[in-house]
Copies of this chain bind each other. A is one copy, B any other.
Amino acid sequence: MAQFINAKENLVTEAIEGTLRTSGGKLARLDGYPHIKVVVRADWDKSKVALVSGGGAGHEPAHVGFVGEGMLTAAVCGDVFASPSVDAVLAGILAVTGPAGCLLIVKNYTGDRLNFGLAAERARAFGLRVEMVIVADDIALPDVPQARGVAGTLFVHKIAGALAQAGENLDVVTKSALEVIENVASIGMSLDTCTVPGSPKEDRIEVGKAELGLGIHGESGIEVIDFVSARDAMGVVIDRLASQVKSGPKVALLNNLGGATPLEMAVLAEELMLSNIGSDICCMVGPAPLMTSLDMRGFSVSLLPVDADALALLRSPVGPHAWPLCLDTNPVEVKAIPDGLAPIKPIPSQNPQVAEFITKCCDIFIEAEVVLNGLDAKSGDGDTGSTLAGASRALKGAVDLLPLADHTQLYRAIGLELSQTMGGSSGVLLAIFFSAVGDASSSGQTMVEAFKSGMKRVQEVGGANIGDRTMIDALAPALEALPNGLAAAASAARAGADHTAKITKAKAGRASYISEDRLIGHNDPGAEAVALLFENLAD
């Protein structure tokens, strides 16, 4: 699969440029591309403890996305999945470290430990105060003493960042970072591998399987399991995690490893809250992409037991928008459905003249069934006649139940009846037409004006204008002529309907998808129906 990149070699520097250019001026970088890829806070004055993190690229928004007030001071970037060099880390440290010192937050991968470690030594040789903490939150391999650092690192960024922002000294900031590291636990699961730019995608995970306990560099999970459902998947993850964290209130960080959709992540959030530790989760960070593995269709859960102090630090506002906030979890609030959904049954009333008129209209459409079907077959699926006739039969049968003595209510009732007995778009459009006619009628418009209002609304909703080869081409001139009598209206409708046979470029409705030569010479069936109606009424 191709990717939206120019060349693998420039991928990370170009991405950093794009990020900086759209950061609202809040981020800057150090000179020294391509070797030195360091993003720093543009407004940093070295007055407080600096926080430096980083590592290989491919984990966005980590780490550049978390540079800003209340989180990181600098992010040192390597190429995709490759540790940055000692020089790059050293440049980052030197650029942001003032008298208050600097804390390096390093994920537990050999390359990062060594390069950040040596850079720290070099920086100390300049007399700078530099501490380094190693995050090892992945519990995939519980016996390994050097667990990997994964998404739990974000908790360290946030809590240490809040303390540094508050002006705490390096010892306090470092101690809090170590406490988070001591207590946080994470594990991930994925349904597919990731696509490393420039490399073919590994088809390692079979359909129907999932890998449990993966790192964030495309390496295999510790275990392949059957994938049954989101619920099962979250259950397995929670089983592994629950025994590794202290009991009591926790914050959960639900991380999208890159390729899961927001819909899937929301379902996983629901399953996490419904899981057997759900009631312990007082706050949630995410679901969001935080520490990704390129486009991996997977997620990870990180759990951090918290007290009130930690919670306050996690909740404090930060500059970086990529931090998805740490929000209280809550039961779902369900509001009652508003009254009025059940359609108001009109109260039947009598008016023999109106009943006769409606019946006559219905008979006209019933009569026209075959003709209209034939016309529709030229440009559609040949059912316009049947649809109209069917609805007419239903309306005719229900005529005694209509509020025949009240025009406004009658129009609305006809709209409702048609929307229930006439399928598809036509039913809805006629329902809108009669509804709008009813509205207009109730506001004192004459019958012709009211019908024009209805037509206008149908045009708005359906998007059809005169000349678009629809029923409007007959209805509009008919309504225009109607004040001069039914015969004038019939004649105008007929002229309009016949004109549609010359319109070869339909612009609305289904005929807009049909080629010109199939349209020429045939009236639009909707327009023809209108013409037939007026002609027969005029007789």
Q: How far is the CA of A262 from the CA of B332 in the complex (A)?
A: 31
By the criterion CB–CB under 8 Å, are B5 and A267 in contact? yes
A174 CB contacts on chain B under 8 angstroms: none
> Quick one: which of B121, B231, B287, B328 contacts A25, CB cutoff 8 A?
B328
Q: Interface segment, A111-119, A382-390, A471-479?
A: A111-119
Please state if A15 and B266 are interface contacts (CB–CB under 8 Å).
Answer: yes
Beyond A117-B460, A335-B31, whether A267 also contacts B6 by CB under 8 A is yes
* Complexed CA–CA distance, A533 and B498 (Å): 106
The answer to whether A5 touches B263 (Cβ under 8 A) is yes
A87 at the interface (CB under 8 A from B): yes
Could you tell me the dominant secondary structure of chain A's interface residues? mixed
User: Which segment, of A160-168, A362-370, A435-443, faces chain B?
Assistant: A435-443
With a cutoff of 8 Å between Cβ atoms, the chain B residues found around residue A259 in the complex are 259, 295
A539 within 8 A of B: no
Pick from A259, A260, A340 the residue with the most CB of B within 10 Å. Answer: A340
CB <8 Å contact, A118 and B60: no
Interface presence of A318 (CB below 8 A): no
Task: Point out the residue from B16, B145, B266, B339 that lies within 8 Å of A266, measured CB to CB.
Answer: B16
Central interface residue in A86, A118, A324, by most chain B CB within 10 Å:
A118
Is A308 an interface residue, CB under 8 A from the partner? no
Stretch at the interface among A122-130, A240-248, A396-404, A516-524: A122-130
A215: chain B residues within 8 A (beta carbon): none
Cα A269 to Cα B145 with chains together (Å)? 41
Complex CA distance for A161 and B268, rounded to whole angstroms: 30
Contact with B along A1-27 (1 / 0, CB 8 A): 111111100011011111111111101
Complex contact B125–A412 (CB within 8 A): yes
A508 touches B22 (CB 8 A): no
A461 contacts the other chain (CB 8 A) = yes
Cβ of A18 and Cβ of B266 under 8 Å apart? yes
A425 CB–B CB distance under 8 Å: yes
Q: A460 to B132, Cβ gap below 8 A?
A: yes
Which of A88-96, A151-159, A351-359, A480-488 makes up part of the contact surface? A88-96
Known contacts: A115-B428, A269-B22, A270-B17. The answer to whether A2 contacts B263 by CB under 8 A is: no
Residues of B within 8 A of A297 (CB): 1, 3-4, 295
Do B289 and A208 have beta carbons less than 8 Å apart?
Answer: no
Q: Is the CB of A3 within 8 A of B461?
A: no
Copies of this chain, count: 2
- The docked-state distance in angstroms from the alpha carbon of A261 to that of B3 is 9
Tell me if A432 is interfacial: C-beta within 8 Å of chain B.
yes
Say if the beta carbon of A376 comes within 8 Å of chain B: no
At the interface, yes or no: A422 with Cβ under 8 Å from chain B?
Answer: no
A293 to chain B, nearest CB (A): 10
Residue A142 at the chain B interface, CB threshold 8 Å: no
State A423–B30 Cα separation when bound (angstroms): 27
Binary CB contact string for chain A from 58 to 70 against chain B (1 if under 8 A, 0 otherwise): 1011000100000
Within the complex, which residue of B3, B25, B230 is in contact with A6, where a contact is CB–CB below 8 Å? Answer: B230
Which parts of A41-83 form the interface with B (CB within 8 Å)?
42, 57-58, 60-61, 65, 80
Binary CB contact string for chain A from 439 to 482 against chain B (1 if under 8 A, 0 otherwise): 10000000000000000010011110100100000000000000
**Residues A335 and B435 in contact, CB atoms below 8 Å apart:** no
Contact B3 A264 (CB under 8 A): yes
- A233 vs B3: C-alpha distance when bound (angstroms): 11
Q: Which residues of chain B are within 8 angstroms of A340 by Cβ–Cβ distance?
A: 90, 94, 122, 126
Determine if B146 and A337 form an interchain contact, defined as CB atoms under 8 angstroms apart: no
| A298 and B289 alpha carbons, distance in the complex (Å) | 17
Specify which chain B residues have a CB less than 8 angstroms from the CB of A192 in the assembled complex: 1
A287 to B266, CA, bound (A): 21
A11/B329 in contact, CB under 8 A: no
Contact status A125-B439, CB under 8 Å: yes
Chain B, Cβ-Cβ closest to A412? B125
Choose one: B24, B32, B273; the contact of A18 (CB below 8 Å): B273
Residue of B nearest to A264 (CB): B4
Residue of B nearest to A289 (CB): B262
* A165-207, CB < 8 A from B: 191-192, 197, 207
Contact B145 A507 (CB under 8 A): yes
Q: Could you say which residues of chain B place their CB within 8 Å of the CB of A267?
A: 4-6, 11, 14-15, 18
Known: A14-B266, A18-B287. 14 other contacts (CB 8 A): A4-B191, A4-B267, A5-B230, A21-B330, A22-B287, A28-B333, A29-B332, A31-B334, A108-B463, A114-B432, A121-B435, A122-B435, A145-B465, A321-B325
Query: Considering the complex of A and B, which 3 residue pairs feature the smallest CB-CB distances, nearest first?
Result: A18-B270, A117-B461, A24-B327
21 A-B pairs within 8 Å (CB atoms) are namely A4-B233, A4-B268, A5-B263, A5-B264, A7-B229, A16-B266, A18-B266, A20-B332, A21-B331, A25-B328, A32-B337, A91-B337, A94-B339, A95-B335, A113-B463, A114-B425, A125-B439, A132-B460, A134-B463, A145-B508, A321-B325
